[in-house]
Structure 1
Amino acid sequence: MQSKTGDRYVLDGNVVITYGNRKVEADHIEYDSATGELEATGHLKATGGANDEIINASHGTINLNKQTGRFYDVSGSVGLKRSGHNSKMVYANGHPFLFTGRVVVRRGPEEYEIYGGTVTSCQLEHPDWLLYAGKFEVNGEMASAHNSVFHLFNLPLLYMPYVTHPVSTEGRQSGFMIPVIGESSTKGLILGEQIYFAINRSTDLTVGAEYFSSRGWSQSAMLHYRGLDNDFATARYSGLLDRGYVSGGQYINQGGQDVTFSGRHDFSAQTRIASDMEYLSSYPYREAFTENFNQAVSTDILSFAYGVHEANGFASDVRADRYQGLKRIAVPATPTTPAIPAQEVRIFHAPAIETYSTDHALGTTGLLWNIEASTGGLKRVQPNFVSSGVTQRFDLHPEIAYPLKLGEWKFLPSLGVRETLYSRSLEPPKSAGEASVEHRGGLSRSDVEAQVDIRPPVIERTFDSKFVEKLFGSEVRHTIEPELKYRYVGGVDNFLKVLRFDDVDVVSDTNEMQYGVTQRLFLKPAKGKEAKPCKVAEKTDKDAGQDADQAQENDGGDADTDVPVSQCGAREWISWRLTQKYFFDKNFGGAVVDGKRNIFDTTLNLSGVAFLTEAREISPLVSRLRVRTSAKMDVEWDFDLDTGAKKFTSNNMLVDLHEGNTFAGLSYARLNAPGRSYTQGTSSLVSNFSQLRLLAGYGSPTKVGLGVAANVGLDLNLGSVQYGALQTSYNWDCCGLSVEYRKYELGSVRNENAYRFNFTLANIGSAGNLRRAERLF
């Protein structure tokens, strides 16, 4: 019903008034069109606005012209809306905000004052958590309150003198983060705080400090920039002012700094610059204080920066890089033994210019050609040897190939030449105990390369008998893919005089045949049976501005997207590749030095495990076996079998299992091979280690319920635990709690027991010192 007297309207019964992008509904409304004043009673509901506001009240007044008002007995939300295909409330942005209040006063289109009320981001009839305060102030960006009390499951838990909650769909807020509290057997009591600065829409900065009661002050800073398309920049700093400790009568200080930077800028689709750099002042600092085990035991640092332009199958780049590798850890002196200094290798390319191409057709001849060329300045620093000044190197490597096909046989013969010029060279030692020295004279290295890559026809057979179908539930297809490759390189008669900087410098004479076979088993739906519907994961571009740890911690980047496919065809069940090389020239043109770790480009192309310590005709047998037993389990077994030494130089196994919320993993790594040789003239020791890592757990970081997970790393040679962790968590609908115990045993550098926790509020954030990147789930 509706009536009008002058400018005043009186409306009753399911009244709806729409103005702009807002709507008012009530049982009874009196509205003055001249002043814009509106009085509503009975099931008052005001909705709309830029942030999808919803206000439910018993009664209230609104000025439609000024977009102000006063509401009583209110429950409402910001950032929630009804789904288009059902009546369910869904999140309209990443900062949903629900509130109640005795009185709510609207001061403007996006400004409110809430009296005697609560706020939360938990969309439940009885929220898991609430903030209570006498007054909340809400603007277009955030809600804030003084003297608020945090309630968890209706229990008052924490008093906060000042608190904010984001409201804007795009804006971010600067402010103090929730303090960090922890405990460690080596660090002692841990107290920390961070400040977050939202510099602009594309850039933010986090600065923090932690106090370790047993060691000193730790500092940290992190800068993130995310630009258009692939542009990004990330910088991170961590440091420790360590007051040290005394062990065995020796004062030990493990303080240091670690600085990293990575970034990328695309000038066009063909031209970009990128870098990934790190400065570490002390290896013991990282080993003793990083929370990532793999980083703690890593002794290599590689920094690089480059610019590249790609067009028409050619790529040209300018780059500079620095490699720093610790080869021996310093050992302090004891009353009975002298100190042993640390030893490391540093290699520089400063700078290098490179050009390389894909295969190009040579007119209509059927020939294909490609080229690689580079020039640059290089320097190497290592124990007992330092290259003087900067060594200039020029390398040119053109190649032509002619693809052939005879029936089902495929051939790719190729012919190439290589010329490499050095401004300095190496003077080989005259006796076994002498070290190599640098020679100021230049060096020219030339070679001729010939190669034939032969691919015989693939042999295949499909097993489709009833017995096979009954046993495997599908047809089984077996394929055998043989391969042969002959390679000859000649003309490198000065290998021992070449300074070593990278893989360009380990080209040697060779006369070899590589042979191998790859076998595959495919499971294919039987004839007359349709394949089961499946989904194929199509990955979107990830946020390149975050490194692996930070991406996990902040859930950076876009999520993977499942794209449905109507049918799935045959899937690979088992693949097994065996390959080996036979060397007709077992001395590699005189390049082999007995008792030393000889690394040539031909050995690197076969295996990453060194095996050449003397003249030999046959390489280890390289095996790579992968089994995908189902969509829930993968097994991989890789080994290098040295038939001459009659031992496995490497033997690795990986098992990964996922079944519902249960997951488990196993990795076994065995290495028994010549070790690193960091000085020319030092005998190759044997690297002999055996390690086992186990992971098992139940639960999910995003699902309601209990989760438990544990992992451990064992040194089987020493019979000791290198690290271990036990995590347990419980997720409610809108919050979760995780607790962890973690142990490190890294020799004399680190023997630590640490306890950490993390409390998470949905759509708000986390408090605690257990980062998402370090979780086991």
Structure 2
Amino acid sequence: MPFFLIIFSFLGIGCPAARAADLTDHLSGDAKVPWQISADTVEYDAANTTYHARGNVVIEKQKTRLVADRVAFNRQAMTASATGNVVMTVDNDVLTGNQIDLDMNHETGVLHDGSIFFNKTHFYIRGQCIEKTGKDTYRAERASVTSCDGDRPDWVITGRQVKVTVEGYGSANHALFKVRQVPVLYTPYILFPVKTKRQSGLLMPEMGYSDRKGVFWDQPIFWAINDSSDATVYVNPMEERGTKVGLEYRYALSDLSFGTIMADGLKDRRTDDGTEETERWAYDDDTYSRPNTDRYWLRAKIDQELPAGFSAYLDLDIVSDQDYLDDFKGGRSGYHRTLDYFESVFDRDLDTLEDNTRTNKLNINQTWSHYVFNADLLWNDNVVKRRWAEEDDTLQQLPVVMFNGLKQEVLDSGLYWDIDSEYTYFYREDGERGHRTDIHPRAYLPLRWNNFLSIEPSVGWRQTTWVMDRRTDDDLSRTSTREIYDFELDLSTEISKIMASPFGIADRIRHSIKPEVVYAYIPEQDQSDLPYFTSSDRIEEANRITYSLTNTFTARMARPAPPSSSPSPGADEPATAPPPSPTLPPQDAETVPSPETVPAFNYHRFCRFYLEQSYNIAAARENEREVLSDIYGELEIDLGRYLSVDADAEYDTYDTRFSAHNVEIRLKDNRGDQLSVEHRYKTRVNKSICGTLSVVLTDRLTVRGEYERNLMEEKDIVQGVGFLYQAQCWGMDVFFADEDGDLSVSVLINLMGVGNIGK
């Protein structure tokens, strides 16, 4: 009959908790909590110091439960054996078999004709004999491993001998990879990851083929240096080009101090010397050859917290030649993935793929309540001029120091002021060099008429001084000054109406209309003898009126009630959070506010429509034909994850046509179907369209496509189509692409619990 033994511990009276570990520390727990045992009968063999439990044996302690027909425990040897329909569960991990033998002193054991399921990695080991050889290591004979459920898994790796380290790697001798019990691949030896935590070792490779690279293999090697930094080394042999080697180093010291440094390069077998024999390796829109074989790309972004509230931001982008980014825009370390990573982690991008001038910048910043300080070192690396031009007149700014005062009131007078000030040293290897100091204070007098019309006149006084180190015209003075004033008058008002919402998700919609008229005046001044470095060295005459209209729609939605308090760590949760990943800046934990401080509603601006045009009074006085500027408009629609529209356009009222427009539309439904279309146009400069489409055919199969075309040159840039199949324990991503004449096919197989294979 069932009974409970409260004082008697199944794993030995007085045995330390550290010695009570089972196959994966399963039989661990609080030493003060007793084991509870129920069985039909329990007998004690004093001669052999062995307890025997028989019939419906159930042994439980905290999260551990062992069920068997018979259990024998030797108190002196600290060994236990369970036989007959053995099922052991700890948390959600499950061991099943005919027999299990445990050695608590050495934390080892043997499972016969059974299987182990690791819930965290959703991983199964099955075998005739599964031996626990250490705290987290296993060896199995005539075994198989898989992450698929069921007796006939979709895929399985079998081997004469399989070794597995939890949160490490597995290996198999004479391994056979099977798909639905059909042998697909044999190898004398295989190594595969079995982990969920970041750990040093080999990552799954990417494989593929393209016309420009041939067959390639990209093997990443990951190094978990410590809790706050890691690195990845890439070895990428390519049939046509040679072997590209790369390094990516990441660190995160605090919320405000983190960075990533990437570098890769190769000794390229293929060059472009301008002859017909090498034109295959050139690009149609590139007028310069590329005879060099030593090729590289160094890029980095670093955010660093400094003393006294200062911050530093570093951007590096140095490339060997004008074709490198085009040649290696794909892959793990290519341009596209690098750009996506920098935008998501640092919220800063790279220069475009086609830009031959790469920006390198160091910024030191400090922001106070009314003032902002910035100091920049800006180096523009013109790849073409650096390599081919006899003279390099690329403009550098070393340094740029800016100190700006934000708009603020003078005592309580009702008068406001702000100031922009800047010092820059402009450097060129060839051409003019010199210093420029610019100070631009401004005074404002904001007024209000009948609480309806806002009136704000303002006047600014700009003083600029140049001191030149070198001028191309020796007849011009090396010291120049400019003083010029400007005047503005800003008139605006805003009317709004709150109405009932036709959408069930919102209860109210606020529509606001803001008309605004701005008059700007800058007197004409001869500046032809002044140095010229940037557009601010020439301030054009202005005598114009700019009028605009802004329509804004904002929805009000009821806010869900917050939880009453933050949950405390329970038995299934760690008491402290794991250290932040070094690939991303750590974030502060979100504090749950009390119900009294939470607003009752959420507000979402779902539509904004803006129109603007200028009337040039100075041009009208000169009887010029075009006194009206193009009508400029912006449209933003954001309906959450279902629809978003981002558009801007310029309309020429004299030629009655659009001179430029850009439209991007993104659609998504509840099934996960997605469509993104973008059209760009600028007269005689650019006309292109691109789009991506993803359609969910079934819960497992998704078809996707990608297309981009240069409509001006009537040339396809990218054409691609593929599908993604996702089963319970594996997935396959197949994609065919023709990108700028480079045909490629990629196949990515994801085995859950093992990783990615291919591409």
Q: TM-score scaled to structure 1, two decimals?
A: 0.74
Corresponding position of 2:420: 372
Which string of whole-angstrom CA distances, capped at 9 and with x for unpartnered residues, describes residues 139-197 of structure 1? 4542432422222332222334444444565351323x445442223333334444333
Assess, with a 3 A threshold, how the Cα gap between structure 1 residues 236 and 158 changes in structure 2: closer, same or farther: farther
2:255 corresponds to which residue? 229
Distance in 2 of aligned mates of 1:724 and 1:455: 49
- Equivalent residue, structure 1, for 2:717: 722
| Equivalent AA in structure 1 for residue 702 of structure 2 | G
Q: Distance in 2 between matches of 1:766 and 1:699?
A: 22
Contact 2:407 2:417 in 1 (8 A): yes
- Residue 244 in 1 paired to residue 271 in 2? yes
Query: Is 1:348 paired with 2:390?
Result: no
C-alpha displacement of 1:77: 2.5
Partner of 1:583: 616
2:674 alignment partner, one of 652, 659, 663: 663
Q: 1:280 aligns with which of 319, 336, 343?
A: 319
1:80-479 correspondence runs (5 A): 80=119, 91=120, 95-123=121-149, 126-139=152-165, 141-147=167-173, 148-167=175-194, 170-175=197-202, 177-240=203-266, 241-244=268-271, 249=276, 251=278, 253=290, 255=293, 256-267=295-306, 270-291=309-330, 295-324=352-381, 346-380=394-428, 386-388=430-432, 390-406=433-449, 407-424=451-468, 439=476, 441-460=478-497, 462=499, 478-479=511-512
Partner of 1:71: 111
State how far apart, in whole Å, the 1-side matches of 2:255 and 2:275 are: 56
Residue number in structure 2 paired with 1:519: 551
**Matched-pair contact (CA < 8 Å) for 1:426–1:499:** no
Note if contact 1:690-1:717 (Cα within 8 Å) is conserved in structure 2: yes
Q: Which residue of 1 aligns with 2:3?
A: none
Cα gap change, 1:122/1:305 in structure 2, threshold over 3 Å: closer, same or farther? farther
Sequence identity percentage: 19
Shift, 1:76, TM fit: 1.1
Aligned positions of 1:599-638 closer than 5 A: 617-627=627-637, 632-638=642-648
Find the counterpart in structure 1 of residue 25 from structure 2.
Answer: none
Q: Give the Cα separation in 2 of the matches to 1:236 and 1:174.
A: 19
Q: In 2, Cα distance between the equivalents of 1:663 and 1:438?
A: 64
Q: 1:151 to 1:267 in 2, by over 3 A?
A: farther
Checking the alignment, whether the CA contact within 8 Å between 1:263 and 1:545 is kept in structure 2 is no
Amino acid at match of 1:67: E
Distance 1:458 1:273, change over 3 A: same
Asked if structure 1 preserves the Cα contact closer than 8 Å seen for 2:210 and 2:744, the reply is: yes
Say if 1:287 and 1:295, in contact at 8 Å, map to a contact too: no
TM-score of the superposition, structure 2-length normalised?
A: 0.75
Residue type of the alignment partner of 1:62: L
Instruction: After TM superposition, give the deviation of residue 654 of structure 1 in Å.
Output: 2.5
Residues 1:738 and 2:733 are matched in the alignment: yes
Report the Cα offset of residue 118 of structure 1: 1.8
Residue aligning to 1:56: 96
Q: Which runs of 5+ in 1 are unaligned?
A: 81-90, 331-339, 428-434, 525-529, 536-542, 591-613, 673-686, 746-750, 770-777
Q: 2:661 aligns with which of 633, 636, 651?
A: 651
Question: Residue 394 of structure 1 contacts residue 421 of structure 1 at CA under 8 Å; is this kept in 2?
Answer: yes
Aligned mate of 1:695, from 684, 692, 696: 692
CA 1:174–1:136 in 2, change beyond 3 Å: closer, same or farther? same
> Cα deviation per residue 1:51-108 (whole Å; 9 max; x = unaligned)?
x754222222213343222221221133x2xxxxxxxxxx3xxx44321121122233
CA separation of 1:243 and 1:652: change in aligned 2, threshold 3 A:
closer
Aligned residue in 2 for 1:485: 518
3-state SS of 1:242 partner: coil
Q: In structure 2, give the amino acid aligned to 1:371.
A: I
Whether contact under 8 Å (2:392, 2:428) holds in the other structure is no
Displacement after TM superposition at 1:671 (Å): 0.5
For 1:72 and 1:733, the matched residues in 2 are separated by: 28
Q: Check whether the contact 1:425–1:439 (CA below 8 A) recurs between aligned residues.
A: no
After superposition, the CA RMSD in angstroms is 4.4
Q: How far apart, CA to CA, are the structure 2 residues paired with 1:55 and 1:274?
A: 52
CA distance in 1, matches of 2:99, 2:750: 36
Q: For residue 279 of structure 1, report the CA deviation from its aligned partner.
A: 0.5
In 2, are the aligned partners of 1:239 and 1:257 still within 8 Å (CA)? yes
- The answer as to whether partners of 2:228 and 2:581 remain within 8 angstroms in 1 is no
In structure 2, relative to structure 1, the CA distance for the partners of 1:281 and 1:559 (3 Å cut) is farther
Separation (CA, whole Å) in 2 of partners of 1:438 and 1:648: 46
Q: 1:368 to 1:667 in 2, by over 3 A?
A: same
Give 1:33's aligned residue: 75
Q: Is the 8 A contact 1:446 1:492 kept in 2?
A: no
Who is 2:84 aligned against? 42
SS of the residue aligned with 1:199? Answer: strand
- Deviation, 1:277, is 0.8
The one-letter amino acid of 2:361's match is F
Q: Is the 8 A contact 2:366 2:374 kept in 1?
A: yes
Q: How many residue pairs end up in the alignment?
A: 662
For 1:243, what is the secondary structure of its paired residue?
coil
